[in-house]
Chain A
Amino acid sequence: QSVLTQPPSTSGSPGQRVTISCSGGDSDVRINVVTWYKQRPGTAPQLLIYSTNKRPSGVPDRFSGSKSGASASLSISALQSEDEADYFCAAWDANLMAPLFGGGTRLTVL
Protein backbone atom coordinates (compact mmCIF):
# COMPACT_ATOMS: atom_id res chain seq x y z
CA GLN A 1 0.00 0.00 0.00
CA SER A 2 1.58 3.30 -1.08
CA VAL A 3 1.67 6.04 1.48
CA LEU A 4 2.40 9.71 1.47
CA THR A 5 5.76 10.55 3.07
CA GLN A 6 5.88 12.29 6.43
CA PRO A 7 8.76 12.67 8.89
CA PRO A 8 8.28 10.10 11.67
CA SER A 9 8.72 12.65 14.42
CA THR A 10 9.21 16.28 15.26
CA SER A 11 9.27 18.35 18.42
CA GLY A 12 8.99 21.88 19.69
CA SER A 13 8.77 23.87 22.87
CA PRO A 14 5.62 25.57 24.10
CA GLY A 15 5.01 28.78 22.20
CA GLN A 16 7.10 27.76 19.22
CA ARG A 17 5.96 27.04 15.68
CA VAL A 18 6.39 23.65 14.04
CA THR A 19 5.78 22.51 10.51
CA ILE A 20 5.03 18.96 9.39
CA SER A 21 5.58 18.02 5.76
CA CYS A 22 3.67 15.56 3.59
CA SER A 23 5.24 14.54 0.31
CA GLY A 24 3.30 12.87 -2.45
CA GLY A 25 3.34 12.56 -6.21
CA ASP A 26 1.71 13.55 -9.45
CA SER A 27 -1.39 11.45 -8.91
CA ASP A 28 -2.22 12.54 -5.38
CA VAL A 29 -0.97 15.64 -3.54
CA ARG A 30 -0.06 17.57 -6.69
CA ILE A 31 -3.55 17.40 -8.17
CA ASN A 32 -5.87 16.87 -5.20
CA VAL A 33 -6.69 18.56 -1.92
CA VAL A 34 -4.95 17.47 1.26
CA THR A 35 -6.59 16.63 4.58
CA TRP A 36 -4.91 16.53 7.98
CA TYR A 37 -5.95 14.51 11.01
CA LYS A 38 -4.75 14.62 14.61
CA GLN A 39 -4.70 11.49 16.74
CA ARG A 40 -3.92 11.27 20.43
CA PRO A 41 -2.77 7.88 21.77
CA GLY A 42 -5.60 5.41 22.19
CA THR A 43 -8.19 7.63 20.54
CA ALA A 44 -9.73 7.98 17.10
CA PRO A 45 -8.33 10.50 14.62
CA GLN A 46 -10.01 13.88 14.46
CA LEU A 47 -10.29 16.19 11.46
CA LEU A 48 -7.91 19.11 11.65
CA ILE A 49 -7.63 20.60 8.14
CA TYR A 50 -9.67 19.89 5.01
CA SER A 51 -9.48 21.12 1.42
CA THR A 52 -5.73 21.71 1.98
CA ASN A 53 -6.13 24.87 4.08
CA LYS A 54 -9.58 25.04 5.68
CA ARG A 55 -10.30 24.51 9.36
CA PRO A 56 -13.48 22.83 10.62
CA SER A 57 -15.44 24.65 13.26
CA GLY A 58 -13.68 24.39 16.62
CA VAL A 59 -10.13 24.03 15.33
CA PRO A 60 -8.00 26.98 16.49
CA ASP A 61 -6.41 29.25 13.90
CA ARG A 62 -3.01 28.21 15.28
CA PHE A 63 -3.37 25.32 12.81
CA SER A 64 -2.90 26.02 9.13
CA GLY A 65 -2.36 23.99 5.99
CA SER A 66 -0.70 24.74 2.68
CA LYS A 67 0.51 23.01 -0.45
CA SER A 68 3.14 23.60 -3.11
CA GLY A 69 3.44 21.18 -5.98
CA ALA A 70 3.46 17.63 -4.68
CA SER A 71 4.20 18.62 -1.07
CA ALA A 72 1.85 19.80 1.62
CA SER A 73 2.50 21.22 5.06
CA LEU A 74 0.74 21.55 8.36
CA SER A 75 1.89 24.40 10.57
CA ILE A 76 1.13 24.75 14.24
CA SER A 77 1.96 28.05 15.89
CA ALA A 78 2.04 28.94 19.58
CA LEU A 79 2.60 25.28 20.43
CA GLN A 80 0.72 23.95 23.45
CA SER A 81 1.06 20.75 25.44
CA GLU A 82 -2.27 19.48 24.14
CA ASP A 83 -0.88 19.58 20.60
CA GLU A 84 1.25 16.54 21.44
CA ALA A 85 -0.17 13.84 19.14
CA ASP A 86 0.27 11.98 15.86
CA TYR A 87 -0.59 13.92 12.72
CA PHE A 88 -1.60 12.26 9.45
CA CYS A 89 -2.01 13.77 6.01
CA ALA A 90 -4.28 12.29 3.35
CA ALA A 91 -5.00 12.85 -0.33
CA TRP A 92 -6.99 11.09 -3.02
CA ASP A 93 -4.84 9.08 -5.43
CA ALA A 94 -6.15 9.26 -8.99
CA ASN A 95 -4.32 6.10 -10.05
CA LEU A 96 -5.37 3.89 -7.15
CA MET A 97 -8.82 5.52 -6.98
CA ALA A 98 -8.50 5.56 -3.22
CA PRO A 99 -7.44 8.01 -0.54
CA LEU A 100 -3.86 7.61 0.64
CA PHE A 101 -2.62 8.47 4.10
CA GLY A 102 0.79 9.55 5.25
CA GLY A 103 2.67 7.35 7.68
CA GLY A 104 2.10 9.88 10.45
CA THR A 105 4.31 12.32 12.36
CA ARG A 106 4.57 12.18 16.13
CA LEU A 107 4.77 15.66 17.60
CA THR A 108 6.38 15.95 21.01
CA VAL A 109 5.98 19.15 22.98
CA LEU A 110 9.13 19.51 25.04
Chain B
Amino acid sequence: QVQIQQWGAGVLKPSETLSLTCAVHGGSFSDFYWTWVRQPPGKGLEWIGEMHHSGHTKYNPSLKSRVTMSKDTSENQLSLELRSVTAADTAVYYCARVVEEMDDAFDIWGPGTTVLVSS
Protein backbone atom coordinates (compact mmCIF):
# COMPACT_ATOMS: atom_id res chain seq x y z
CA GLN B 1 0.00 0.00 0.00
CA VAL B 2 1.70 3.14 -1.23
CA GLN B 3 1.40 6.16 1.05
CA ILE B 4 2.70 9.67 0.59
CA GLN B 5 3.77 11.86 3.48
CA GLN B 6 4.21 15.60 2.94
CA TRP B 7 5.76 18.37 4.99
CA GLY B 8 7.10 21.90 4.73
CA ALA B 9 6.74 25.45 6.00
CA GLY B 10 3.10 26.49 6.18
CA VAL B 11 3.44 30.28 6.46
CA LEU B 12 5.69 32.44 4.32
CA LYS B 13 6.19 36.15 3.75
CA PRO B 14 6.15 37.61 0.23
CA SER B 15 9.48 37.17 -1.60
CA GLU B 16 10.47 34.14 0.49
CA THR B 17 11.07 30.65 -0.88
CA LEU B 18 8.53 27.86 -0.49
CA SER B 19 10.13 24.52 0.26
CA LEU B 20 8.12 21.29 0.47
CA THR B 21 9.03 17.62 0.59
CA CYS B 22 7.07 14.45 0.04
CA ALA B 23 8.16 10.96 1.03
CA VAL B 24 6.86 7.78 -0.57
CA HIS B 25 6.34 4.76 1.65
CA GLY B 26 5.44 1.20 0.77
CA GLY B 27 6.06 1.18 -2.95
CA SER B 28 8.51 1.83 -5.73
CA PHE B 29 9.76 5.38 -6.07
CA SER B 30 12.17 4.97 -8.95
CA ASP B 31 9.73 3.27 -11.33
CA PHE B 32 7.37 6.24 -11.50
CA TYR B 33 7.21 9.88 -12.39
CA TRP B 34 6.15 12.24 -9.58
CA THR B 35 4.29 15.50 -9.80
CA TRP B 36 3.27 18.54 -7.79
CA VAL B 37 -0.18 20.11 -8.12
CA ARG B 38 -1.59 23.03 -6.17
CA GLN B 39 -5.07 24.27 -5.33
CA PRO B 40 -5.71 27.86 -4.20
CA PRO B 41 -8.46 28.25 -1.60
CA GLY B 42 -11.86 27.55 -3.12
CA LYS B 43 -10.40 27.14 -6.60
CA GLY B 44 -9.39 24.47 -9.08
CA LEU B 45 -6.20 22.51 -9.55
CA GLU B 46 -3.00 23.77 -11.17
CA TRP B 47 -0.13 21.57 -12.33
CA ILE B 48 3.27 22.76 -11.13
CA GLY B 49 5.62 20.23 -12.67
CA GLU B 50 6.90 16.66 -12.73
CA MET B 51 10.06 14.69 -12.13
CA HIS B 52 10.93 11.69 -14.30
CA HIS B 53 12.88 8.55 -13.37
CA SER B 54 15.95 9.99 -15.03
CA GLY B 55 15.77 13.17 -13.00
CA HIS B 56 14.49 15.11 -16.00
CA THR B 57 11.96 17.72 -15.00
CA LYS B 58 9.07 19.46 -16.75
CA TYR B 59 7.54 22.60 -15.33
CA ASN B 60 4.39 24.61 -15.92
CA PRO B 61 5.49 27.45 -18.22
CA SER B 62 3.72 29.96 -15.98
CA LEU B 63 5.88 28.94 -12.99
CA LYS B 64 9.03 27.71 -14.69
CA SER B 65 11.21 30.69 -13.81
CA ARG B 66 10.57 30.20 -10.07
CA VAL B 67 10.32 26.41 -9.65
CA THR B 68 12.88 23.72 -8.96
CA MET B 69 12.00 20.08 -8.31
CA SER B 70 14.52 17.56 -7.05
CA LYS B 71 14.54 14.03 -5.71
CA ASP B 72 16.47 11.87 -3.29
CA THR B 73 16.07 8.33 -4.55
CA SER B 74 17.87 6.84 -1.55
CA GLU B 75 15.23 8.35 0.74
CA ASN B 76 12.28 8.01 -1.69
CA GLN B 77 11.70 11.74 -1.40
CA LEU B 78 10.67 14.48 -3.80
CA SER B 79 11.17 18.16 -3.10
CA LEU B 80 9.63 21.35 -4.45
CA GLU B 81 11.11 24.83 -4.26
CA LEU B 82 9.17 27.90 -5.37
CA ARG B 83 11.03 31.17 -5.15
CA SER B 84 9.82 34.75 -4.68
CA VAL B 85 6.36 33.77 -3.48
CA THR B 86 3.42 36.16 -3.44
CA ALA B 87 -0.10 35.93 -2.05
CA ALA B 88 -1.12 34.27 -5.33
CA ASP B 89 0.97 31.25 -4.30
CA THR B 90 -1.27 30.61 -1.30
CA ALA B 91 -2.65 27.13 -1.87
CA VAL B 92 -2.74 23.52 -0.81
CA TYR B 93 0.20 21.78 -2.47
CA TYR B 94 -0.15 18.12 -3.39
CA CYS B 95 2.48 15.57 -4.35
CA ALA B 96 1.17 12.74 -6.55
CA ARG B 97 2.33 9.68 -8.45
CA VAL B 98 2.15 9.69 -12.24
CA VAL B 99 1.38 6.41 -13.99
CA GLU B 100 2.56 6.25 -17.59
CA GLU B 101 0.45 3.15 -18.26
CA MET B 102 -2.61 5.21 -17.35
CA ASP B 103 -1.74 7.94 -19.85
CA ASP B 104 0.06 9.86 -17.12
CA ALA B 105 -2.89 9.95 -14.72
CA PHE B 106 -2.14 10.88 -11.10
CA ASP B 107 -3.23 7.78 -9.24
CA ILE B 108 -2.00 8.30 -5.68
CA TRP B 109 -2.00 11.69 -3.97
CA GLY B 110 -0.44 12.94 -0.78
CA PRO B 111 -2.63 14.58 1.85
CA GLY B 112 -1.54 18.06 0.83
CA THR B 113 0.37 20.81 2.58
CA THR B 114 -1.33 24.15 3.17
CA VAL B 115 0.86 27.14 2.39
CA LEU B 116 -0.16 30.68 3.30
CA VAL B 117 1.77 33.65 1.95
CA SER B 118 1.08 36.73 3.99
CA SER B 119 2.96 39.77 5.16
Residues of A bordering B, CB below 8 Å: 1, 3, 33, 35, 37, 43-47, 50-51, 54, 56, 88, 90, 92, 96-104
Contact = CB atoms under 8 A, between A and B. Distances in A.
A104 B55 CA distance: 31
Contacts of A98: 47, 58, 60-61
Contacts of B45: 37, 45, 88, 90, 101, 104
B75 interface: no
Interface string B60-89: 111000000000000000000000000000
Nearest to B6: A44
Nearest to A3: B44
B104 interface: yes
Q: Which of A51, A90, A99, A101 has the most CB of B within 10 A?
A: A99
Given A47-B106, A88-B44, 14 more contacts: A45-B37, A45-B45, A45-B94, A50-B105, A51-B102, A51-B103, A51-B105, A56-B105, A92-B104, A96-B61, A97-B58, A97-B61, A98-B58, A100-B47
Interface of B: 37, 43-47, 58, 60-62, 94, 96, 99, 102-107, 109-112
A56 B58 contact: no
A99 B33 CA distance: 14
